[in-house]
A and B are shown apart, each in its own frame.
Chain A
Amino acid sequence: ETGVTQTPRHLVMGMTNKKSLKCEQHLGHNAMYWYKQSAKKPLELMFVYSLEERVENNSVPSRFSPECPNSSHLFLHLHTLQPEDSALYLCASSQDPRVNTEAFFGQGTRLTVV
């Protein structure tokens, strides 16, 4: 248990569906992140939030929409996804990213788009 919880653990959705991934951290951290992990590829950083403000958006398609209502919660809203979006989506948190502490990861949501 790392203190970062992701739900659901598994999700299957059609290309016309709308769904949301949820992440919650109990570590008192100020920064939260979404990463995408695809087979045989490096982890891809998607979004960074610091103190609830989006500070980095790595050219992610608009069909992925993040939301950070407070420093403990992070969502990833999904709509009209493509099969190539199937992957493991990992949430992470850390202290102020200007401080070089490690990030703590959730167990991920395995997303399958059919």
Chain B
Amino acid sequence: AQSVAQPEDQVNVAEGNPLTVKCTYSVSGNPYLFWYVQYPNRGLQFLLKYITGDNLVKGSYGFEAEFNKSQTSFHLKKPSALVSDSALYFCAVRYTGRRALTFGSGTRLQVQP
């Protein structure tokens, strides 16, 4: 079955420290991978995507993600976290032949001052 897993419900990190939010996906064809962020009472905002090419993708607000085909992972990273990064983060995949995105359950990132 086509699925996306975000194994951590919540990630806590101190401001200024690096952060990682994990995402793995089930293997089916050539998936296209996305990260979105959701702030309270808002819709989802696009951060970055991997379609093809360089495995390290850079996106908005200093975020980046690394595509690892052998581990079927697409972890979101940032070298230095900000308190304002605190939000809900969703990994999403578009599988070949599907029109819409399949989303993970989300990971809440809490950055402490």
Interface residues of A (CB under 8 A from B): 2, 4, 6, 31, 33, 35, 40-43, 45, 48, 50, 55-56, 90, 92, 97-98, 100, 102-108, 110
Contact = CB atoms under 8 A, between A and B. Distances in A.
Contacts of A100: 32, 49, 51, 94
B105 interface: yes
B103 A56 contact: no
B100 to A, nearest CB: 5
B100 A48 contact: yes
Contacts of B36: 105
Interface string B28-54: 000010101000011111100101000
Interface in B92-113: 94, 99-106
B106 A105 contact: no
B106 A107 contact: no
Contacts, number: 55
Interface in B43-92: 43-46, 49, 51, 90
A73 B43 CA distance: 17
17 contacts: A2-B43, A4-B43, A40-B105, A42-B4, A42-B104, A42-B106, A50-B99, A56-B99, A100-B32, A100-B51, A100-B94, A102-B34, A102-B46, A102-B49, A103-B46, A107-B42, A107-B43
A56 B45 CA distance: 23
